[in-house]
Structure 1
Amino acid sequence: MKKNPKKEKQKTSKLWKLNDHKFLHIFLYGILAIILFVALYSNVKPETLDIELFTVSEQTIYAPTTVEDKIETERKQQEAYDAVEDQYVLKKEITDKQVDLISSIFDTIIEVKNEVDTKPAVDEEESTLTPEEQVKKLQGKLTSSINDKIPGETFLPLIKASDADLNMAKDAVVTAVNNIMSKEIPIVQLSEAKKQVDEELQYTPLRSEVLQSATVLGKFAITPNYVFDLKATEEKRQQSVDAVKVAQIKQGQILVEEDELINREIHRKLGLVGLLDDQQSYKPFLGLALLILLILAGVIYYFEKKDSPISKRNNSLLLYCLIFAITILLMKIVSLFQKIDYTHIGYIVPVAMGVMLIKLLINERLAILTSMIFAVCGSVIFNEGITGSFNFSIGVYYLFGCLAGVLFLGEHNLRSKILQAGLFVGGINVIVLTAIMLIRNGSYSNVEISSYFVMACVSGLVSSVLTIGFMPFFETGFGILSTMKLIELSNPNHPLLRKILTETPGTYHHSVMVANLSESACEAIGANGLLARVAAYYHDIGKTKRPQYFIENQMNIENPHNKLSAQLSKNIIISHVTDGVEMLRKHKMPKEFVDIAEQHHGTTLLKYFYHQAKESNDSIYEDEFRYPGPKPQTKEIAIISIADSVEAAVRSMSNPTPEKIEKLVKSIIADRLQDNQLDECDLTLKELDIIAKSFCESLKGIFHSRIEYPELSKKQKVK
């Protein structure tokens, strides 16, 4: 029975529409929470004891956890809190503020006097303002708070004083206020501090009325500067509270011996640690819920912070949930063997598989976060039958094993690299287990040591094998651009590549050259060389729409741009970017290819046509002759962008030599830097230097000098 392609297309579109829905990520977070709850529920469900008051205990009971006697602790903390006295602090900024205030008042007085002295009369009858009028003008420039506290009569002698006396009064008052307020002045000593102004100014050589006004201003400026410090007081009180030793029941402490009577105190302690029926309740499950919320918060923070389309985010989150569920399921299945006396069976779980898949298919930062999550989950799942406890040994073991897998893997998902990562994880597992056994200082038989090491090695190897096995399914199912997909797209029989080859052979040759240059440069700095090579094949696909307008395709024909205006030529050249993006999207090519086609010219200037247009119209702006962008966002796009210009420039050289090539490459890179084209990608100057060297080496190999053979005579040819 044949499939209906129309129905298949409708199903696919419905799936993609579902992936675009905003609610989907909320649903997936819920699924993640359910997975965690189901996996950890049985490991946190507490054991409870049916014990009554004034009965004899049938067993020795230990405290399952450390708890605080809150009533006694709170009483001691309150006593310590109340014993702390209020703290005060000298505020220097108050002193500075008051000094500035006094200085500002005197400056305003001087300003008013200067305005009156320098103002010309409108006619002969107009005279300068009287001192009283000057005081009113001064009060108009001062704030209402100053005018309310200082009467106008105080300013009159200062207005009448000479400039020399006024400056002397200002210096004296500023100095007095600064000296007095440099010491602590609590509010209760304010009047005493104001009296000190008289002492400070009494020997100033000023007329009595000016001295009196200056004294009033000085007293006005004096204000309390030794104030209550709430923050210091609270800190002191908090330090006192923190110093109180809390009353605790320690984990493992014997609460009641076997055959001992359970009195009220013992019964209270049993209730305090949660071992009584009536307090079995919700606490462990509430703790589990908080733990799950904390884990989800980290995952949500990562995915919601990403500035990417909802469909892509949902796609990554769904992939993450699948990998997470598979890894947790493996843990839970293996943990079942604990019940048949395989206590340390958890060391064999291939938990590094999960984080290796996340690193390769999603992101390294998320893989590191998940390493910590798996370590926490493992320490709960493999708690050796002790409900509510944590197996910190296996948590540390999982953490180091997962981090080893993440850090060892390179940027590319090469199968050999994954296998090496598995071996590396196995080695780290062995080292961590050795460290744990030595720290415990226990005695282990040779059989136990051997079994531990075998499980550690198997865990690493199985992690790599499962990673290699799962990767093709996830790559295909989630449309991830894998190595195999890139190799498939590099096939010359691909319809778009055949289109470039047959319709624009010059562009095809140019693209192959750019691909070679880009791949070498990317690999030199650790970027994705294969992606750069294959994407470079397609980066100029837009030129197939109007091939004759690009110089590499103009074979024995006149350049059509000779008959066009610079503006029209510019539009045709720039359109190859938008045409290429449209064609790539139409053929459902990977987004990475679309981005490279769209960004490989950035916002660079079409210099030739710009200068041509400038000759005929001087009002032309550069922005009109720039590509629309955006600028390169990744290292690979930036390298292809530079290689595109370098290849075209070197090809146009009449006699390329190594020195000329090197000079040209460096000038193009410098021009891109100066034009700010590399601002939005994370290339460093050191990497740009490496890229330049890589380009030079590749170009020298392509444009090497050849031996000139002498022409053979016809006679020699006949022979």
Structure 2
Amino acid sequence: MAKRSSIDHQSWWKKLQNHRYIRLFFFLLLGIITYSLLVSNIIPDTLEVEQGTVSDNDIRSPLTIENKAETERLEQEAFDAVEPVYSMRSRYSQNQIERIQDIFHSIKQVRAEVAEREEEIDTITEGSEEEEETNNQEELIEEFTLEEKIDRTRELLTEQTNDHLADETLETLLRVSPEDLQIAQETTTSAVYDVMTEEIEMAQVDQAKDEVERQVDIQSVSPTLTRAMKEISRFGIMANYMIDEEATVEAREQAVEMVEPVMLREGHLIVEEGQVITSDVYQQLALVGLTEDINVVYPYLGLAIIVMLLMGMLSYYLNDAKTTLQTNNTHLLMYGVIYSVTLVLLKLVSMMHVIDVDGITYIAPVAMGTILITTLLQSRVALFTSMVFAIVASIMFNNQAPGVVDYSHGIYVFFSGVAGVFFLNKSHRIIRMLQTGMFVSLINVLVVLAIILLKNAQFGWIEIGLNLAFAAIAGFIAVVLTVGLLPFFEAGFGILSTTKLIELSNPNHPLLRKILLEAPGTYHHSVIVANLAEAACESVGANGLLARVGAYYHDIGKTRRPHFFIENQMKIENPHDTISPKLSKTIIIAHPYDGAEMLKSYKIPKELIDIAEQHHGTTLLKYFYHKAKQESDEVISEKDFRYPGPKATNKESAIVGIADCVEAAVRSMQHPTNEKIEMLVRKIVTDRLEDGQFDECDLTLKELNMISTSMCETLQGTFHSRIEYPEDDLPKVKEETK
């Protein structure tokens, strides 16, 4: 059988994979590949158009954007269309009545002061006897003139009131009798109140003043008092139905808010073929970036940001997820190759739109990438990658979309990739791959049908049939490509896939034939260990097939000195009886590491080499240790009789080690029973646990108990009791046997 060399055995990769910046360089390279494949899809389409020319074809908007200039114009129109809001100011009526009342109160106050002064003068006059004093009093009366009364009245009134009242009006009010003054006050106040309770606009003020004059024109008072009343009543009338600034502003703001933004929708027809490109049309073309006077740098910058975000999230997930991608740069390189190959295939399919066949781009075999990642790495990584593929595809397949992103292809690629992950399991059979292809085809058809229904367009039956047919074919193409590429990835990157494990479990493999021919006892022992390990691994969710194949090869090192191991000592003396315990120890301890070297020389995957090297961990070679202590008077160090390790670093290695020890121990029992077997198995597991052999792997106490139970069940089937033949039948049996 030819030896296949993976990239792990290449000297250049051994030097490069441990470089401190290799992972940074890797994601940078993936970003460059992604950007290079997408850059042609975001190059802005510019048109050589000028105002006043005629369009040669239909031009549609490539994106959805607001036409802010048009929106602002409509908002201004709505603002201007709102008439000022008027409101009745009831307080104005009360204020004017209070001003009129203040006029009459001031008149009454001045009249009271004059009366009080005259009364004081009269009192002084009656008590005076000298003529000189009388003359002085007469002079005092003459000084209290009408002008003084008017001046005193104006002092009591406000400046605004004084500006609207003539001296004749005040003089009339100061002269009339108290009864007429009271009539004037009541009539004027009542008239002003009646008129001011109605809405009076600025243009209606003169009309209202005329109305109040008619109401105060009564016959019961003198004409001069009537004129005074008219003047006061006209002063009391003012506009009370005025613009409400706050309400007006609020109404105009509401009108502006009601204006819907003017949007240029993606796919909107801006210019029809043969239509003249007016200034408004040209402005719309510039708005959506179709004219030559736009900045073409922005799309490239936007794509760079998208790619950086994708690579950032991808690197974070792959470095954080508990998979081999976290530490194994060879697996990371393989992931990058699968990622790049899938994107290249998608790019080639996206370029098939020039064929002008309905639905041709749905033939994209995106499920190939996720199926390969699931088979070779892990399903959760494949699920995350399907989201990345969907985002990339939504940009890559925008050739027939009016905008930068084609959401229909993004949705299609996502579901197609996820379908390949969900249906595929760890089964190695080709039939399972074919079933996965059928499942992917079914999901593809359903997704495409859903997209057609969502578009709610009048598609013809032929067009619908082509779309669904290409979607169905994509699933089978993905499986065919996966089956064809899988061996290359397994061999090129040393991946221990299910198919590879089945191949290595073939008894015709040179190493297995070597064990069978040179150490048949070891071969039989390995088969039983494989049965024990596989069942135990499956009970705790570990890789049972890996444990089985690892068990087949775990003692390959014994073929170098097969007769020094008791299972191969048939009808010969034990060579350990004639050599020292230290030499025996050296021979026995060497077999895991001899086996690891042999496996490496045959380019066996590292996972199997680890099982062969770690299945004894650092356990003590008890038999020869105690024998050396008995034969020597010197102090024998226990460390000298321990395997140098390493300890098991994964569940499969640990379980194979337990199964190896259990099988040898049970085989040495004289009369094994179920109870004895269970006690022995649990004692071996406990001893290894206390000896720290499971410190480097993630086995829990619960899992150790499940492993013990599983091995007991398997051993009970292997070492079951047999029926003893009666003595009379023994000769007959022997005869038949011969």
Which TM class, normalised by the smaller chain length? 0.5 to 0.7
Provide closer, same or farther for how the CA distance between residues 476 and 577 of structure 1 changes in structure 2, counting only shifts above 3 A: closer
Query: In the alignment, does 2:592 pair up with 1:577?
Result: yes
- SS of the aligned residue for 1:389 comes to coil
Structure 1 residue 354: deviation in Å? 1.6
Structure 1 residue 409: deviation in Å? 1.7
| Residue 355 of structure 1, aligned match among 361, 370, 389 | 370
Q: State how far apart, in whole Å, the 2-side matches of 1:718 and 1:429 are.
A: 68
Query: In the alignment, does 2:299 pair up with 1:281?
Result: no
Provide closer, same or farther for how the CA distance between residues 665 and 46 of structure 1 changes in structure 2, counting only shifts above 3 A: same
Q: 1:141-290 residue pairs with structure 2 within 5 A?
A: 250=263, 252=265, 261-262=278-279, 273-290=288-305
Q: State how far apart, in whole Å, the 2-side matches of 1:366 and 1:672 are.
A: 35
Structure-1 residue corresponding to 2:694: 678
Residue pair 1:331, 1:349 contacting (<8 A) in 2 also = yes
Structure-1 residue corresponding to 2:257: none
| Residue 512 of structure 1, aligned match among 512, 521, 527 | 527
Structure 1 residue 352: deviation in Å? 0.2
Residue pair 1:646, 1:665 contacting (<8 A) in 2 also = yes
Query: In the alignment, does 2:342 pair up with 1:345?
Result: no
- SS of the aligned residue for 1:277 comes to coil
Residue pair 2:359, 2:470 contacting (<8 A) in 1 also = no
Structure-1 residue corresponding to 2:164: none
Q: Which amino acid aligns with 2:670?
A: S
Structure-2 residue corresponding to 1:654: 670
Q: 1:26-45 residue pairs with structure 2 within 5 A?
A: 32-33=30-31, 35-45=33-43
Q: State how far apart, in whole Å, the 1-side matches of 2:411 and 2:442 are.
A: 15
Structure 1 residue 531: deviation in Å? 3.0
Structure 1 residue 429: deviation in Å? 2.5
| Residue 683 of structure 2, aligned match among 637, 642, 667 | 667
Provide closer, same or farther for how the CA distance between residues 307 and 567 of structure 1 changes in structure 2, counting only shifts above 3 A: farther
- SS of the aligned residue for 1:677 comes to coil
Provide closer, same or farther for how the CA distance between residues 40 and 657 of structure 1 changes in structure 2, counting only shifts above 3 A: same
Residue pair 1:539, 1:596 contacting (<8 A) in 2 also = yes
| Residue 722 of structure 2, aligned match among 702, 706, 714 | 706
* Matched positions, count: 537
Structure 1 residues 486-538: Cα deviation after superposition (integer angstroms, max 9, x where no partner): 44444445443344344433322211211222233344555443332232122
Structure 1 residues 141-198: Cα deviation after superposition (integer angstroms, max 9, x where no partner): xxxxxxxxxxxxxxxxxxxxxxxxxxxxxxxxxxxxxxxxxxxxxxxxxxxxxxxxxx
Q: Which amino acid aligns with 2:473?
A: V
Query: In the alignment, does 2:439 pair up with 1:424?
Result: yes
Q: 1:607-622 residue pairs with structure 2 within 5 A?
A: 607-609=622-624
Structure-1 residue corresponding to 2:566: 551
Q: State how far apart, in whole Å, the 2-side matches of 1:48 and 1:554 are.
A: 86
Provide closer, same or farther for how the CA distance between residues 18 and 576 of structure 1 changes in structure 2, counting only shifts above 3 A: closer
Query: In the alignment, does 2:654 pair up with 1:638?
Result: yes
Q: TM-score, normalised by structure 1?
A: 0.63
Structure 1 residue 569: deviation in Å? 4.8
Residue pair 1:44, 1:388 contacting (<8 A) in 2 also = no
Q: State how far apart, in whole Å, the 1-side matches of 2:343 and 2:380 are.
A: 20
- SS of the aligned residue for 2:727 comes to coil
Provide closer, same or farther for how the CA distance between residues 60 and 274 of structure 1 changes in structure 2, counting only shifts above 3 A: closer
Structure 1 residue 544: deviation in Å? 3.2
Query: In the alignment, does 2:339 pair up with 1:324?
Result: yes
Structure-1 residue corresponding to 2:44: 46
Query: In the alignment, does 2:331 pair up with 1:336?
Result: no
Structure 1 residues 691-715: Cα deviation after superposition (integer angstroms, max 9, x where no partner): 4343233222221211212335999
Residue pair 1:600, 1:638 contacting (<8 A) in 2 also = yes
Structure 1 residue 469: deviation in Å? 2.3
Structure-2 residue corresponding to 1:459: 474
Q: Which amino acid aligns with 1:351?
A: V
| Residue 372 of structure 1, aligned match among 383, 387, 403 | 387
Structure-1 residue corresponding to 2:617: 602
Higher relative contact order (CA 8 A, sep 6+): 2
Q: State how far apart, in whole Å, the 2-side matches of 1:17 and 1:541 are.
A: 30
Q: Percent identity?
A: 50
Q: State how far apart, in whole Å, the 1-side matches of 2:495 and 2:265 are.
A: 52
Structure-1 residue corresponding to 2:63: 64
Query: In the alignment, does 2:713 pair up with 1:697?
Result: yes
Provide closer, same or farther for how the CA distance between residues 10 and 455 of structure 1 changes in structure 2, counting only shifts above 3 A: closer
Structure-2 residue corresponding to 1:203: none
Tell me the C-alpha RMSD between the 2 structures. 4.6
Structure 1 residues 562-611: Cα deviation after superposition (integer angstroms, max 9, x where no partner): 67676665444332222222232233332222111111122334444556
Structure 1 residue 650: deviation in Å? 1.0
Provide closer, same or farther for how the CA distance between residues 646 and 475 of structure 1 changes in structure 2, counting only shifts above 3 A: same
Q: State how far apart, in whole Å, the 2-side matches of 1:330 and 1:714 are.
A: 72
Residue pair 1:63, 1:250 contacting (<8 A) in 2 also = no
Residue pair 2:6, 2:492 contacting (<8 A) in 1 also = no
Q: Which moves more between the two structures, 452-461 or 561-570?
A: 561-570
Structure 1 residues 276-331: Cα deviation after superposition (integer angstroms, max 9, x where no partner): 42324221122223333333445555677799999x95644554444334433332
Provide closer, same or farther for how the CA distance between residues 484 and 437 of structure 1 changes in structure 2, counting only shifts above 3 A: closer
Structure 1 residue 344: deviation in Å? 3.4
Q: State how far apart, in whole Å, the 1-side matches of 2:546 and 2:321 are.
A: 22
Structure 1 residue 396: deviation in Å? 1.6
- SS of the aligned residue for 1:709 comes to coil
Q: Which moves more between the two structures, 439-448 or 653-662?
A: 439-448
Structure 1 residue 40: deviation in Å? 2.0
Q: State how far apart, in whole Å, the 2-side matches of 1:632 and 1:20 are.
A: 27
Provide closer, same or farther for how the CA distance between residues 477 and 62 of structure 1 changes in structure 2, counting only shifts above 3 A: closer
- SS of the aligned residue for 2:404 comes to coil
Structure 1 residue 620: deviation in Å? 6.8
Residue pair 1:255, 1:269 contacting (<8 A) in 2 also = no
Q: Which amino acid aligns with 1:595?
A: D
Q: State how far apart, in whole Å, the 2-side matches of 1:11 and 1:657 are.
A: 48
Q: Which amino acid aligns with 1:455?
A: F
Q: 1:402-421 residue pairs with structure 2 within 5 A?
A: 402-421=417-436
Residue pair 1:515, 1:534 contacting (<8 A) in 2 also = yes
Structure 1 residues 77-109: Cα deviation after superposition (integer angstroms, max 9, x where no partner): xxxxxxxxxxxxxxxxxxxxxxxxxxxxxxxxx
Residue pair 2:428, 2:499 contacting (<8 A) in 1 also = no
Structure 1 residue 351: deviation in Å? 1.1
- SS of the aligned residue for 1:581 comes to helix
Provide closer, same or farther for how the CA distance between residues 551 and 69 of structure 1 changes in structure 2, counting only shifts above 3 A: farther
Provide closer, same or farther for how the CA distance between residues 250 and 695 of structure 1 changes in structure 2, counting only shifts above 3 A: farther
Q: TM-score, normalised by structure 2?
A: 0.61
Structure-1 residue corresponding to 2:544: 529
Q: Which runs of 5+ in 1 are unaligned?
A: 73-246
Structure-2 residue corresponding to 1:17: 12
Structure-2 residue corresponding to 1:390: 405
Q: State how far apart, in whole Å, the 2-side matches of 1:330 and 1:517 are.
A: 45
Query: In the alignment, does 2:291 pair up with 1:291?
Result: no
Q: Which amino acid aligns with 1:42?
A: S
Provide closer, same or farther for how the CA distance between residues 329 and 609 of structure 1 changes in structure 2, counting only shifts above 3 A: same
- SS of the aligned residue for 1:706 comes to coil
Q: Which moves more between the two structures, 571-580 or 649-658?
A: 571-580
Q: State how far apart, in whole Å, the 2-side matches of 1:14 and 1:576 are.
A: 23
Provide closer, same or farther for how the CA distance between residues 668 and 314 of structure 1 changes in structure 2, counting only shifts above 3 A: closer
